[in-house]
Amino acid sequence: MQKLQTKFKTLRQSRLALAGLLSLLLGSGIAGCVTTAPAPAGVLVEQPLTPEPMQVPYRTEIAIARLNEILQSADLTEPQRARLFYDRGVMYDSVGLSALARFDFMRALRLKPDMADAYNFIGIHHTLNGDYDSAYEAFDSALELDPDYQYVYLNRAIALQYDEKFELALRDFKQFQNIQPSDPYRALWLYLAQVQQSKETAATTLAAQFKQLDQKQWATQIAAFYLGTISEQQLLNIASSNALEPKQLAEQLCEVYFYLAKWHALQQNPTQAIEYYKKSLATNVYEFVEHRYARLEMARLRHQVVAEGAAAEDAEHVH
């Protein structure tokens, strides 16, 4: 559970609850930072490892089937039924069935309108669909119900960032990072928000925060790469060599490919960025925030490339 306590998957509390529900229904060495210069922008590295896509866990399939039976046959109170709809929605979401998940979250809220967790998930789905006003409404509802629900700040910040409300997004990213300064993922998201306004400020802030980061967290190496103290190839080697089992490997590759894609996009290497987003998506780690937004990031980057190409073509015609 240590990783769940430090890494902000989309919803830590929900994942812990899911583990408990599965149990109920079924009876059931990090590498050090190396000080060498990173590869220059555009320099190809060795062929990155292609992960084996994660399969839907058998336990999750059985748990969903069992929940279906309970919801159809059991004599439940409305709060109980709401909780089961929510739990099934979390399971659907974890295996990429987003439409079914969203329907269940909405059912849960109709029966029990004070579920902050469900509002948070609904907000994420609205963000992915580009319905930012509805996303803000859902996130604000979650915070009204639970002011200490820290992951809402992250998810609202991402929505604000995509909606180009950069100052408001930066405020939420800072709020999220300040809650747990040792978490490298929080520092990375803050950096990615700041770098769009000032590369110097973003780098200075990340360098200052790096001293506080948990060195036992493998993602601290991603921050080291962003600061230029390890190369892209070294980062890929670390991500693929310290995993103890296939699930951990898929998770770490999902993460590293996403953050490398973001870095290459900042370096104006859209082709390489898109390839890394594809690899992140290929892991099928649906519940990770990196996988969740990789497709949206890729679509936005492709749109940017097309728009820039059209602008360049128009400029040539003018001349």
What local confidence, expressed as pLDDT, does residue 180 receive? 97
User: Which of these three, 53, 80, 113, is where a domain ends?
Assistant: 113
Task: For residues 238 and 32, give the distance between their C-alpha atoms in angstroms, rounded to a whole number.
Answer: 9
Question: Would 210 be classed as within a structural domain?
Answer: no
pTM, two decimals, is 0.82
Q: Are 201 and 191 in contact (CB under 8 A)?
A: no
- Of 56, 89, 113, which closes a domain? 113
Model pLDDT, residue 58: 80
Domain that holds residue 61: 45-113
109 contacts: CB under 8 Å, gap ≥ 6? 82, 115, 118, 119, 122
Tokens 């405020």, located at residue: 171
CATH code for position 272: 1.25.40
In a domain, 303, yes or no: yes
251 in a domain, yes or no? yes
Give the 3-state secondary structure of residue 242.
coil
**Helix orientation angle between 151-162 and 116-128, rounded to the nearest 10 degrees:** 20
Q: Give the pLDDT band (50/70/90) at residue 319.
A: low
Q: Which of 65, 81, 113 is the last residue of a domain?
A: 113
The verdict on residue 51 lying in a domain is: yes
Residue 67: inside a domain: yes
For helices 78-94 and 58-73, what crossing angle results, to 10°?
150
Q: Does some domain include residue 314?
A: yes
Is pLDDT of 80 > 70?
A: yes
| 242 belongs to a structural domain | yes
Amino acid at 158: I
List the structure tokens of 104. 């269940």
Count: domains in the chain: 2
106-133 tens-digit pLDDT: 999 999 999 999 999 999 999 999 999 9
C-beta atoms surrounding 29 within 10 Å: 8
**In Å, how far are 115, 210, 283, 309 from 207, measured between CA atoms?**
38, 5, 30, 35
Tokens in use for 247?
A: 């699930």
Alpha helices in 112-165 (DSSP H): 116-128, 132-145, 151-162
In a domain, 23, yes or no: no
Alpha-carbon distance of 94 to 101, in angstroms, equals: 9
